[in-house]
Amino acid sequence: MTSKTNSNRAYLAIDQGTTSSRAIVFTAEFEMAYTAQQEFAQYYPRNGWVEQDPEELWQSVLAVTREALAAARQQGLQVTHIGIVNQRETTLVWHRDSGKPVYNAIVWQDRRTSQYCRSLSAHEDMVQQKTGLRLDPYFSASKLRWILDNVDGANALAQNEKLLFGTVDSWLIWRLTGGEVHATDVTNASRTSLYNIGENCWDNALLALFGIPPAMLPEVKDCAADFGMTAPDILPESLPISGVAGDQQAAMIGQGCVQPGNVKATYGTGCFALVNTGADCPVSQSGLLTTIAYRLHGQTHYAIEGAIFVAGAAVQWLRDGLGLIAKAADSEAIASQVGNEHGLVVVPAFTGLGAPHWQPDARGAIYGITRATSADDIVRATLESVCFQTHDLLTAMSQSGVTPTGLKVDGGMVANEWFCQFLADTLNVPVVRPHIMETTALGAALLAAMQAGDIAGLNDLATATPCQKTFTPTANSDRETQLVRWQKAVQATLLMAQ
């Protein structure tokens, strides 16, 4: 697919993730021309708490953005529009006048509001019907409530319209525009537990339930829209911010999953599988979420989503926590050398279990350890656990009326050939890996190009990412035994959380 542009035109995708910020330059043909990346710190002040410093996050974005723009100029490319994709649900509050944060960003993985969410259980049905989400610490509203309740003076300042709330995209838009624009897109709004996805608006009943002053909230826009111009003192030149989406919805767009029934799974820190349901907004009864996939030209498309909190983070744990591998790529060779008879099951519930179980108090466990258990066995079982969790998600999708016949995958883990093949064998459906692996960033670039008028619409989006490789399921006589053993381990883990 080519855009209606001159050959030196380019788009910049700011990809702000959980552990690092990246800026990727895409050419007019949507090929990657340059990537800048910078990691930043995560803070764990208490068990189950996960925070980020908003200023450190912003400085990492600013650094990679400036680096990528400089590299584009050196290559003779002219960046004309910016797209933003971001970690979802992570919650920030800052002063309207000064822009100073009142507290660290509370990250989507944070579980500190578990008890608060349980206290609202009588309102679970109302919340799910309006938002498509569960009452869970994962989402933004309870995190926002915690900040207002626990930061000195925050609640009074919010009531007096002195504070602003935003997810990471809003924080970046605010900073990039020099405090001129307080906005978000519909996909990020739909992850706050404050947005009515059927009526496409902030919901007064939800705001009252969580006690959130409406004046704190950003304006909600389409995914391809005018989000303002970058301030003259921020970047070398002022550029329009033209596309915004949460990371998983951006990956849907980057994968071309724009028709009902299309399914993708992104394997980053966590794993998120989404199936496009078109204009239908079904409320899943199988432990999955309903969310807005995207809104373009005022037309809303929905998706059913399953969330696994730990995927790539489990590989990081093998490397950094246990020291079983020197680098993430080592896991591929190790897993391929371990046979099916290892007998281990790893349940990586480091921050609770997500869909379809929704148990925030669950914690990780390893079952089946013997004197013969080796470090390599643990590495393989950890990779297997991500495949088994994906099987749980696709099973729940089938119970919700959508039976996937294939899965498009992206994210860092899918560079692992063994993982992709075991995933196909476990799911018993083809697994398709794209030519451009950075589909979240690509989705942001495509949205920016759409707002710029350089691509026409959904048909162009559907052909944006050609297939690089398809992994076809092979016979696995141990498949059913492995899945039964996995379910027993999950049930034991859930029992321990009671």
pTM confidence score: 0.85
Q: What does the block give as tokens for 227? A: 């989000």
* CATH code for position 129: 3.30.420.40
Q: What is the mean pLDDT of the chain?
A: 90
Mean pLDDT for the stretch of residues 45-67: 94
| Angle, helix 417-427 to helix 375-399, in steps of 10 degrees | 40
Domain assignment present for 307: no
Parent domain of 22: 9-246
- Provide the pLDDT for residue 396: 86
Domain assignment present for 212: yes
- Provide the pLDDT for residue 76: 93
Under the banding of pLDDT at 50, 70 and 90, the label for residue 261 is: confident
Lowest mean pLDDT among 89-103, 242-256, 270-284, 368-382: 270-284
- Provide the pLDDT for residue 479: 87
Cα separation of 361 and 359, whole Å?
6
Name the amino acid, one letter, at 473: P
Domain assignment present for 155: yes
Q: What is the DSSP letter of 342?
A: G
Domain assignment present for 1: no
Domain assignment present for 177: yes
Mean pLDDT for the stretch of residues 413-429: 93
Nearest to 56 by CA among 142, 171, 164: 171
Domain assignment present for 205: yes
pLDDT of 467 strictly over 80: no
Mean pLDDT for the stretch of residues 233-240: 92
Domain assignment present for 197: yes
Q: 6-41 burial string, b = 16+ CB within 10 Å, else e?
A: eeebbbbbbbbbbbebbbbbbbbebebbbbbbbebe
Using a pLDDT cut of 90, give the percent of the chain over it: 66
How many structural domains comprise the chain?
A: 1
User: Which helix (DSSP H) or strand (DSSP E) does residue 38 occupy?
Assistant: strand 32-39
Beta strand pairing status for 163-166 and 92-95? Answer: antiparallel
Domain assignment present for 90: yes
